[in-house]
Amino acid sequence: NDDKNLNDWIRSFKIAAELNILRQEFYEKVDFYTGKFKRLLKKVNSSSALLDKYTMRLFLNRLRKNIISLIAFSHPKNVDKAIEAAKQIESDQYYEQQFPIPIQTSGSNNTIDNLTK
């Protein structure tokens, strides 16, 4: 029984170490990173479950920097809300890259002025 407890503790420690080094890679989608994060989190022994704030900090601090700064504005209450926010931000960034908003220059204002005369 003591061996089982020791093995469970070692297993939980290894999983916690994996959680601590897990990071979202540069081209990795939030969904893929989230899947890995949640799988590791489920493996942690429920009797030694990580605190919600610590779990959220682990998740957030391992996201790409351009996502972390924007999530801070939404003040997520838990990991699930942080995941939703991260997915939305990633989606928004993708569409901004695919369909950039054209920037008007002073020359284009003259063209518009001429057309509306």
Which of the four CATH numbers 2.60.290, 1.10.1200, 2.60.40, 1.10.287 does domain 2-100 have? 1.10.1200
pTM of the model: 0.66
22-69, pLDDT tens digit by residue?
999 988 999 999 999 999 888 875 555 567 788 888 899 899 988 988
CA atoms of 60 and 108, how far apart (whole Å):
42
Q: Judge contact between 56 and 71, C-beta under 8 A.
A: no
60-101, pLDDT tens digit by residue?
989 998 898 899 888 898 889 999 999 999 988 876 777 766
Q: Token digits for 27?
A: 């081209």
